[in-house]
């Protein structure tokens, strides 16, 4: 019999539970799944799947604080790492948000979106500059409704 070795790893409890359901439906135990993964690493001399950061993300809902902006159609928001910081950008609204982590950058994007909504979309046209009226039109064309979260 081959010698065995123990692997101890910590993972998120929710991830573990979800993975268990999927593995069971495939007829695999955790041990079998880990051995399958490690055999693929050995055979390919690397990870058996590509690991990459997508260059954009789709957003159909933007949540900020106690509000949820339901969009008429999903936004394709550019995302990536530039100069060591995470960036989320949607040029047509003039939003360029960044943070030291992906979560910080996403939170900054949500804050910028909500701020644009509060300061421009809800303002009377007569109080807005030409550029602000144009931004208001774009915001109103994107947002279907705003709900309390």
Q: What is the DSSP letter of 119?
A: I
Q: How many CA atoms lie within 13 A of 90 on its CB side?
A: 22
Mean pLDDT of each 10-residue bin along the chain, 149 residues long: 85 88 92 94 94 90 96 95 94 96 96 96 94 96 93
Q: What is the DSSP letter of 22?
A: H
- What is residue 1's predicted lDDT score, i.e. its pLDDT? 60
Strand partners, 143: 71
- What is residue 105's predicted lDDT score, i.e. its pLDDT? 96
Does this model's pTM top 0.75? My answer is no
- Listed residue (110, 106, 103, 134) closest to 120, CA to CA: 134
Query: Domain locations in the chain?
Result: 13-44, 56-148
Largest CA distance in the chain: 82
Q: Is 86 exposed, middle or buried (0-12, 13-18, 19+ CB in 10 A)?
A: buried
* Paired tokens of 46: 């690397």
């Amino acid at each position: 019999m081959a010698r065995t070795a123990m692997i101890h790893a910590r993972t998120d409890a929710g991830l573990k539970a979800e993975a268990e359901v999927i593995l069971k439906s495939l007829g695999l135990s955790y041990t079998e799944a880990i051995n399958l993964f490690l055999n693929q690493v050995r055979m390919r001399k690397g990870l058996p799947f590509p690991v990459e950061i997508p260059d954009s993300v789709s957003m159909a809902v933007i949540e900020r604080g106690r509000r949820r902006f339901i969009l008429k159609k999903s936004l394709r928001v550019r995302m990536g790492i530039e100069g060591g910081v995470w960036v989320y950008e949607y040029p047509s609204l003039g939003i360029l948000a960044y943070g030291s982590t992906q979560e910080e950058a996403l939170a900054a994007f949500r804050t910028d979106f909500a701020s644009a909504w509060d300061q421009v979309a809800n303002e009377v046209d007569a109080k807005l500059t030409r550029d602000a009226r144009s931004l208001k039109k774009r915001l109103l064309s994107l947002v279907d409704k705003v709900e309390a979260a």
